[in-house]
Structure 1
Amino acid sequence: MVFGGPFVVSSTSSKDGMSYGILAGYNYQMGNLVLGVEGDFEGWTVGKVRYTSLTGDFLTAHSKWGGSVRGRLGYAADRTLFYVTGGAAFVSDETSVPTTGISIGGDGTRAGWTAGAGVDYAFTNNWFAGLEYRYSRFESKSFIYPMPILNLGLVGFTQELNNNQVNARIGFKF
């Protein structure tokens, strides 16, 4: 049996925001074993504003979109598919000082990896719904920032970026 097609994805990224996107994939079933590949692209409304006592400023870190290309290995039991997934991930990033309008990181894209697990249930022969958890880790980025307090010069810092994501999905099998 072969599964695949476009999907609508809605996910929550902790308390920080919401995302919506599309997902497409292809699965091949051999007995109860399912092998597949999936790709997704999402628009996000996530980000944090943090106060830094070292610089006396608020820094924002935002992601506007993200996506991944993953392999999938699953076990089908009647209409239910249990699976693990993993592969490459990418995300937009922007770091700035909102009170000054200074963009210290510019707009960019970071690559990384993602891994997770999920379950899909086919409620008809063509339609299914599912729930998936994924952890994503992206490359670190270092910044040099002018320190406004007492004109003390420049401050360097490294920004780590990761994401815990739960996706609710509904899709159509061709």
Structure 2
Amino acid sequence: MSTLHTGFAAGLAFAMFSIAAQAADLPSRRIAPAIPMPPAFTWTGFYVGAQAGWAQTRTELTPGAAIAGQAAVASLPSLNRDGATVGLLAGYNYQIGQLVLGGEIDGAALITGKQRFTALTGDFITAHTNWVGSARLRVGYAFDRFMIYATGGLALAAAKSTVTGTGYSYGAGDSTRLGWTLGAGAEYAITNNWIAGLEYRYSQFEEDTYTYPVGVGGLGIVGFKQQLSTNQVVGRLLYKF
């Protein structure tokens, strides 16, 4: 009886060892841990940023009133000045599929210097624009982290002109002017928060008319119209919340 038990125990141990060995040879069915995927990028959100680049102010002067039957200023050129611009901005985007809608405000200082022209009367006509700003809508199309867009809206400019002659000086239009602006740009999201971009915008502002008394062969009135426009190409760095 003990011999039977001993043989049975030995057979059972051998069978269990064989099953264990076969199980060890089977391919592992362990499930690999899932690799966490980064969240998909979205353009939706508020952002703030800075911009800097090239700026041009263009002042077009048109002759106005006459003196003694002749135009006091026979012709006036367009006064262009190239320089730099630097400013701050803030906005909001909302993404629907690949369409991105948003709004933006900005303000920038213009470092373009003064424009000067000497009229036939001997007067110096000086124009200077200190800063510009805008409130705009944006419509963009996103290719994941890259987006192209168009923008347009209301523009503001602090334009100042001065007419200086012998013994007198007249301030001409030291005020804020309204206008419109249109442009386009492209942006790339370097990370989920930092965005770099490049933008071009053209702005045109309301026309202003200046008149002032001056004596040229007798008393008379000199007048001219001033039309201001700007071009800007700026690099942008944004932080999206």
TM-score by length of 1: 0.91
Report Cα offsets for 1:46-97 as digits up to 9, x if no partner: 3442323332222111111110000000000121110000000001011013
Per the alignment, residue 198 of structure 2 pairs with: 131
Structure 2 counterpart SS, 1:16:
strand
Q: Partners in 1 of 2:108 and 2:97 — Cα distance?
A: 32
Structure 1 pair 99/33, CA: closer, same or farther in 2 (3 Å)? same
Per the alignment, residue 100 of structure 2 pairs with: 34
Moved over 4 A (4+): 98-101, 148-152
Are 2:104 and 1:77 aligned?
A: no
- Asked whether the 8 Å contact 2:122–2:165 carries over to 1, the reply is no
| 1:9 aligned residue (41, 51, 72) | 51
| 1:156 aligned residue (223, 226, 234) | 223
Structure 1 pair 133/9, CA: closer, same or farther in 2 (3 Å)? same
Q: Which runs of 5+ in 1 are unaligned?
A: none
Q: Partners in 2 of 1:55 and 1:169 — Cα distance?
A: 45
Report Cα offsets for 1:112-166 as digits up to 9, x if no partner: 1000100011111110111101110100000003335445422111000111111
State the identity %. 50
Per the alignment, residue 90 of structure 1 pairs with: 156
RMSD, aligned α-carbons: 1.9
Q: Which runs of 5+ in 2 are unaligned?
A: 1-41, 57-80
Offset at residue 17 of structure 1 (A):
2.1
Are 2:89 and 1:23 aligned?
A: yes
Structure 1 pair 25/134, CA: closer, same or farther in 2 (3 Å)? same
Size of the aligned set, in residue pairs, is 174
TM-score by length of 2: 0.67
Structure 1 pair 147/46, CA: closer, same or farther in 2 (3 Å)? farther
Whose Rg is larger?
A: 2
Structure 1 counterpart SS, 2:121:
coil
- Asked whether the 8 Å contact 1:59–1:95 carries over to 2, the reply is yes
Matches within 5 A, 1:59-70: 59-70=125-136
Where is the strand percentage greater, Structure 1 or Structure 2? 1
- Asked whether the 8 Å contact 2:173–2:208 carries over to 1, the reply is no
Structure 1 pair 28/60, CA: closer, same or farther in 2 (3 Å)? same
Letter in 2 for 1:140: E
- Asked whether the 8 Å contact 2:173–2:210 carries over to 1, the reply is no
Q: Partners in 1 of 2:181 and 2:139 — Cα distance?
A: 14
- Asked whether the 8 Å contact 2:49–2:89 carries over to 1, the reply is yes
| 1:145 aligned residue (179, 195, 212) | 212
- Asked whether the 8 Å contact 1:16–1:48 carries over to 2, the reply is no
Are 2:215 and 1:173 aligned?
A: no
